[in-house]
Chain A
Amino acid sequence: MSARARLLLCLAAVAVIAVFFAVACTEMPAAGGDHHPYGDRAVAAALAHRTANTVSAVNFDLRAFDTLGEESILFGTVLGATLLLRLARDERRRPAPSEHVLPSTRLLGTALLPVALVVGVYVVAHGQLSPGGGFQGGVILATALHLGYIAADYRVLEKVRPLAVLDVADAIAAGAFVALGIAGLAAGGAFLKNTLPLGTFNQITSGGTVPLLNAAVGVEVGSGLIVLLAHFLDQAVEISAGDGADRPPRPHPDADHRTDRRADHRTDPQEEP
Chain B
Amino acid sequence: MGPWPYLAAGWVLLVALYGMVTSRNLIHAIGCLAVAQSSTYLLLLSVGYRHDGTAPVFSDVKPGSRPLVDPVVQALALTDVVVGATVTALLLALTVQLRKRHGTVDPQALTGLKG
Contact = CB atoms under 8 A, between A and B. Distances in A.
Interface of A: 3, 6-7, 10-11, 14, 17-18, 21-22, 25-26, 28, 30-34, 36, 38-39, 42-43, 46-47, 52-55, 57-59, 63, 66-67, 70, 73-74, 76-77, 80-81, 84-85, 88, 129-131, 135, 201-202, 228, 231-232, 235, 241, 246-248, 264, 268, 270, 272
Given A43-B63, A55-B57, 10 more contacts: A14-B14, A21-B10, A39-B69, A39-B72, A52-B57, A59-B79, A85-B97, A131-B55, A232-B92, A268-B109
Interface residues of B, number: 58
A100 to B, nearest CB: 27
Contact of B97 (A53, A55, A84): A84
30 contacts: A7-B22, A10-B17, A10-B22, A14-B17, A17-B17, A18-B10, A18-B14, A25-B10, A28-B3, A28-B6, A32-B49, A32-B50, A38-B70, A42-B56, A58-B72, A58-B74, A67-B79, A70-B79, A76-B86, A77-B87, A80-B93, A81-B89, A88-B100, A129-B57, A135-B81, A135-B82, A202-B58, A228-B89, A247-B103, A270-B108
B101 A43 contact: no
Given A14-B18, A73-B86, A135-B82, A30 B1 contact: yes
Contacts of B70: 36, 38-39, 42
Is the contact region of chain B dominated by helix, strand, or loop, or is it mixed? helix
A135 B82 CA distance: 8
Contacts of A18: 10, 14
A246 B50 CA distance: 58
B46 A31 contact: yes
Interface of B: 1-7, 10, 14, 17-18, 21-22, 46-51, 55-59, 63, 67-75, 78-79, 81-83, 86-87, 89-90, 92-94, 96-97, 99-101, 103-106, 108-109, 114
